[in-house]
Structure 1
Amino acid sequence: MAEFLKPKNTNPRGIPEAPFIDKVENVIKNPDEEFEKVMSMFQERLQQYKYMELSKRQQLGDLKIKIPDIEKNLDIINYINEKKNDEDEEDKIIETNYELNDTLYTRASIDAENLDSVFLWLGADVMLEYPLDEAVELLNTRLNSNQTQLKLVKEDLEFLKENITTMEVNTARLYNWDVERRRNLKSAEEGTKNLKI
């Protein structure tokens, strides 16, 4: 019975494929002893899939925040480079608003001609200064990596959705099979009692 849940196939990230029950009798040989164990194992696997799905959804949410942030940073650096290479001296000044804290903004004038580097948040309260070209290279690398990760997370979520459905169907089939089996046993016992009377 435990062998039935051993994964025959996995997706590329190692998530096991859920088996499908054709006939419950192939999984449960001795119903009185095995049913509760098998049902428990199937419910546990279903919960594992749901936990993985929750984790992947959180990952998806994080990536949907990170990717636009990276794209916005690349846009800003590209804008700085455009201003830096502009022929008109007046166009090399960038007027902008920036956030000091959650509720306080101020204006700044930035001389793009003398701007050779930017500071990037790397996470965990770490900020480093990068020359403009290195910043673009780093951000493009991170963007490509996050876009690839986004694609994989979406694939995993689709795979998990299919397997959750399979395990829900399996669990329902097991439960219905046991209800019918018990009903048949009860009918047989009542038929035997009626014969004795």
Structure 2
Amino acid sequence: MSSKVEVTKSGIPKAPFITDVVAHLGGPDEPVEPHLRKFQETMQKYKLMETDRFQRKRALEEKVPDIKKTLDMVMLLKEKKEAEEALDTHFELNDTLYAKATIPPVETVHLWLGANVMLAYPLEEAIALLSARLEGSEKSLVTLREDLDFLRDQITTMEVNTARMHNWDVKRRREM
């Protein structure tokens, strides 16, 4: 068994696959319980990481469409400004209540940054900021999906290790 643990770029350690139970234990007379407990602890850690990554993925999946809609709107405002046209639109006041508005060409937009903070940005800066956020969020989503796939594999590996060690222990006890 190697002492160096492989780690993903996200910092998730790779679960070792136990091919030889006796070699992993250190001998045929070594107790199995401490190793099984360690496997269970490791599996729980993987499951906690999986839950965390899943929640972050779900939050990003909700955020990305909002960023795209905002970016599209800012780009439309920029087009209207360049064409020196007003924008006729309907905007949502409530879930089922909309109002009609005519928006004259604008130089700046106000963007929610989070934590109850809104800042005014020139159109170009707003587009650059939103594009960077969209790109970062999409990259994070890809990484989170990869992490979730990896974690599922590691949990499966640990379950197989646990079963192999348990079965080996049952066989050993029968032979005694």
- TM (norm. structure 1) is 0.81
Where 1:80 maps in the other structure, the secondary structure is helix
Deviations 1:16-42 (A, max 9, x none): 110011111112246776311110000
**Runs of 4 or more off by more than 4 Å in structure 1?**
4-7, 30-33
Where 1:25 maps in the other structure, the secondary structure is helix
Deviations 1:132-166 (A, max 9, x none): 11101111111121122122112211221211111
Where 2:11 maps in the other structure, the secondary structure is coil
Find the counterpart in structure 2 of residue 42 from structure 1: 39
Deviations 1:120-142 (A, max 9, x none): 11111111111111101111111
Residue pair 1:7, 1:19 contacting (<8 A) in 2 also:
no
The within-5 A match list for 1:8-157 is: 8-29=5-26, 34-86=31-83, 92-111=85-104, 113=105, 115-157=106-148
Higher relative CO (Cα under 8 Å, sequence separation at least 6) belongs to 2
CA distance in 1, matches of 2:120, 2:155: 46
> What runs of 5+ residues in structure 2 fail to find an aligned partner?
none
Amino acid of the structure 2 residue aligned with 1:28: L
| Structure number with larger C-alpha Rg | 1
Residue pair 1:118, 1:130 contacting (<8 A) in 2 also:
yes
* Offset, 1:53: 0.9
Q: CA RMSD in A?
A: 2.0
- Percent identity of paired positions between Structure 1 and Structure 2: 48
By percentage of residues, which structure has more helix?
Answer: 1
Amino acid of the structure 1 residue aligned with 2:128: E
Where 2:32 maps in the other structure, the secondary structure is helix
Distance 1:130 1:167, change over 3 A: same
CA distance in 1, matches of 2:77, 2:174: 76
